[in-house]
Amino acid sequence: MSVPAWFARGVYRAQEAAMHRPTFAMLAELERTQWLSREGVEAYQAQRLNRLLASALAHSPWHADRLRAAELGDAIEAGAVALADLQRLPTMGKRDARDNVEQLVWRGVPGGVFQYTTGGSSGEPLIFYFGRARQASDAAGRMRARRWWGVQPGEREAYLWGAPVELNKTDRIKTLRDRLVNQLVLNAFAMSPGCMDDYLDALQAWQPKCLYGYASSMALLAAHAEARQRTLRLPQLRVVCTTGEPLYPHQREIITRVFGAPVANEFGSRDIGFTAHEAPGGQMLLMSESHIIEVLDQAGRPVAPGDAGEAVVTGLTSGAQPFIRYRTGDVLRLSSEPATGGQGLHVLAEVTGRQTDFVVAADGRIMHALAVIYVLRAVPGIAQFKCIQHALDRMEVQIVPTVDWNEAARNAVVAGLRTRLGEALRVELRMLDDIPPEASGKHRYVVSHVPLAESLKQAAA
């Protein structure tokens, strides 16, 4: 079932208004501000930064102490903080956000606060809070990026995304809502050959204008289509948007070849929101209106222009729980080039994300690694984790516990993983003081040694 785009857009507008999210007002603002000069964009950033810091000074005691220690109080009250003044503040990390949450969150923020948990791809799950402004900013930024590719709000989209093992009543209501806004959701946590055959049929029937999902899952579906010698005819498809992990060149190539549309990658995370979107021509354009990105070396100093370093982000719509000079753990390079499309937005030259693997259930279902991550991130008492699938029926789980770790948490991990991968799964829990990175220096928090079908290995690599 699909509905006219104007109707779907109207349903979406009504939903956002009912939820008190200023999504479409923000979209209109983003459509205007992207055409400012680079200097105009940075002046806009400074205005929003001053509002964020004023809110943090008034409502987030942890930040307020740091702002006063940096002697920024008077400048904040005068609305005179410059972008360069951020460097007077120390950075913050996930542990700061996790350990000081009650001193960070502003529970009285207009529209209310909502608890969320990071996906855990960094190995450190984080419970944090965001408000309506952050939600609206993410949605509006995504719609603006879709428009770069000729996809308008309300036009048909398909999502290759995580979904629960079982659908309950709430999920069925959400499925109906998805169809009323012209969204088809395919479960990236259940990608057996039979499921993927069904997904290809569904895409052929749905004829989306945009296809969106995890990079590795999208490549896996494309490889499966080639292995089945399926020729997809999707003349309406304008773009395939990938997210959640690095997009490798061979994955981009097979996705483009099989689905017959260009690929646009995006960069961000749950805690800081969508940060950059790929535009036609291949540039990654920063959501400059909602994020300030600094690139620092290991000593915390700004790198030379064009050099790689750690992304330190200030979320300008994170007033409910401010993320100010937040160390993300991602490595990137900024470009000094202007946007080729004429926007004044900043350009990311290169983004290095974190890898995930697939896991394979006992019945042969191929599941995105987030199916496992979602289990671990929901259990209290875990500071860090790493899951290693040694065989179909054996998974090692390395855990750095917190003081909240207990027998109930242990049982929840085992039960959750068996629900995903099969009741016969042997779960070996190892308590550690620290989980080191791979020899390459990369952090892989879900690793599977169970081989996929030979025809799918390249796409899933």
Instruction: Note whether 158 and 256 are same-domain residues.
Output: yes
Q: What would the mean pLDDT of 216-225 be, rounded to a whole number? A: 91
Distance CA 353, CA 214 (A): 13
pLDDT digits (tens, 9 = 90+) for 6-19: 999 999 999 999 99
Does the residue 20 lie in any domain?
yes
pLDDT digits (tens, 9 = 90+) for 173-190: 777 788 899 999 998 888
Instruction: Note whether 255 and 274 are same-domain residues.
Output: no
Q: What's the CATH code of the domain at 434?
A: 3.30.300.30
Does the residue 286 lie in any domain?
yes
pLDDT digits (tens, 9 = 90+) for 286-330: 999 999 999 998 788 999 988 988 999 999 999 999 999 999 888
Task: Read off the pLDDT band of 459 (50, 70, 90).
Answer: low
Does the residue 21 lie in any domain?
yes
Instruction: Note whether 246 and 312 are same-domain residues.
Output: no
C-alpha 44: how far from chain center: 25
Q: What would the mean pLDDT of 327-351 be, rounded to a whole number? A: 92
Does the residue 145 lie in any domain?
no
Distance CA 199, CA 281 (A): 29
- 290, 323, 352 — which closes off a domain? 352
278 secondary structure, DSSP code: E
Compute and round to an integer the Cα radius of gyration of the chain. 22
List Cβ neighbours of 202 (8 Å cut-off, separation of 6 or more): 158, 184, 186
Instruction: Note whether 449 and 376 are same-domain residues.
Output: yes
Does the residue 142 lie in any domain?
no
Instruction: Note whether 449 and 405 are same-domain residues.
Output: yes
Instruction: Note whether 244 and 161 are same-domain residues.
Output: yes
Q: Which residues of 342-356 are buried (b: 16+ CB within 10 A; e: fewer)?
A: ebbbbbbeebebbbb
DSSP states along 154-195: TS-EEEEE---SS--HHHHHHHHHHHHTTEEEEETT---HHH
pLDDT of 165:
44
- Residue 272: phi and psi, rounded to 5, are -105, -10
Does the residue 99 lie in any domain?
yes
Instruction: Note whether 10 and 103 are same-domain residues.
Output: yes
Task: Read off the pLDDT band of 255 (50, 70, 90).
Answer: very high
Distance CA 47, CA 41 (A): 10
The separation between the first and the last C-alpha atoms of the chain, rounded to the nearest angstrom, is 35
- 261, 290, 321 — which closes off a domain? 261
pLDDT of 167:
44
Does the residue 389 lie in any domain?
yes
pLDDT of 200:
97
pTM of the entire structure?
A: 0.85
Percent of the chain as helix, strand, coil, to the nearest 5: 40, 25, 40
Distance CA 429, CA 417 (A): 12
- Residue 15: phi and psi, rounded to 5, are -60, -45
Residue 164 has pLDDT above 70, yes or no: no
Q: What's the CATH code of the domain at 305?
A: 3.40.50.12780
Instruction: Note whether 292 and 321 are same-domain residues.
Output: yes
8 A C-beta contact, residue 275 and residue 318: no
Instruction: Note whether 201 and 165 are same-domain residues.
Output: yes
- 230, 261, 292 — which closes off a domain? 261
Instruction: Quote the domain boundaries for residue 392.
Output: 358-460
Q: What's the CATH code of the domain at 173?
A: 3.40.50.980
Distance CA 106, CA 102 (A): 8
What rounded mean pLDDT belongs to the chain?
90
Instruction: Note whether 78 and 194 are same-domain residues.
Output: no
8 A C-beta contact, residue 234 and residue 208: yes
Instruction: Note whether 24 and 63 are same-domain residues.
Output: yes
Task: Read off the pLDDT band of 440 (50, 70, 90).
Answer: very low
Distance CA 128, CA 55 (A): 17
What is the number of domains present in the chain? 3
Does the residue 140 lie in any domain?
no
Structure tokens at 45: 């950033």
pLDDT digits (tens, 9 = 90+) for 27-42: 999 999 999 999 999 9
Instruction: Note whether 100 and 173 are same-domain residues.
Output: no
